[in-house]
Amino acid sequence: MITSETEAREFVSDLCDAEAMERLDQFVAALKLENETQNLVAKPTLETAWQRHIADSAQLLSHVSRETGVWLDLGTGAGLPGLIIAIMRPKRPVVLVESRRKRIDWLERMRMDLTLPKCTIEGKRLELVESVRASVISARAFAPLPKLIDLSARFSTAETTFVLPKGRSAAQELQTLPKKARKLFHVEQSLTDDDAGILVGSLAKGMRTKI
Ligand SMILES: C[S@@+](CC[C@H](N)C(=O)[O-])C[C@H]1O[C@@H](n2cnc3c(N)ncnc32)[C@H](O)[C@@H]1O
């Protein structure tokens, strides 16, 4: 379990290079400033930003086997987890979907300032985003599980891995899926919170049209 800012930095630095670490520091500094003008994350969480946001996002990499293909992040908001993945894996195409104007502007600015040419931002509602085949789909605090799957199934194939940090409700949310769909996901322990879980899984063919 990651229990301090130092441990969080060490955990993340094992997963990326020194240049990415510099960019992550730049991101954290910018996030603290931006949070004074728009409510991107809960203010108290900024004191432990590396644990609560950076390592929390970075840990998703451990649940994804393929290092290639589009990583699609739904409802990216402050940049979590999608922008963190884009910083740590700058050669990978990462698509961030976010509908709120001020948040889109923030993400665009970060993408420019951090020089992330493979990262693209779909500044609109997910429902309006053109279908692409995603290799990974992530979403933190985006929507209840059945709705999330309903909205994102058209971006998935049988090879797509869903990685969904669900906080304390992970196991409970899984129970809200029909029995057949439930079997396709499992709960991984979060490394940043004893009580939190990450839902990991893929959708079978029939499930991709309707759950
Ligand atoms: C609770 S925030 C979570 C933000 C970020 N993932 C995090 O963990 O800090 C949910 C985000 O999803 C965005 N959102 C909600 N519904 C959306 C939709 N249908 N399409 C695109 N973005 C959406 C909201 O604007 C908001 O920024």
| pTM (two decimals) | 0.97
Q: How confident is the model at residue 54 (pLDDT cuts 50, 70, 90)?
A: very high
Question: Model confidence over 103-136: pLDDT tens digits?
Answer: 999 999 999 999 999 999 999 999 999 999 999 9
Q: Is 142 in the pocket of ligand 1 (CB under 6 A)?
A: yes
Domain map of the chain by residue range?
Answer: 5-209
Q: What is the rounded distance in angstroms from the CA atom of residue 6 to the CA atom of residue 138?
A: 26
Other residues' Cβ atoms within 10 Å of the Cβ of residue 125 = 13
* The CATH fold of domain 5-209: Rossmann fold (3.40.50)
Q: Kindly report, residue by residue over 132-175, the tens digit of the pLDDT.
A: 999 999 999 999 999 999 999 999 999 999 999 999 999 999 99
Percent of the chain with pLDDT over 70: 99
The predicted-structure confidence for 189-205, as pLDDT tens digits, reads as follows: 999 999 999 999 999 87
76 Cα–ligand 1 center, Å? 6
Instruction: Output the residue whose Cα is nearest ligand 1's atom 12.
Output: 75
ipTM: 0.99
- The residue among 207, 69, 60 whose CA lies nearest residue 139 is 60
Say what the pLDDT of residue 209 is: 63
Predicted local confidence at residue 207, as pLDDT: 73
Q: For residue 127, which atom of ligand 1 is closest to its CA?
A: 19
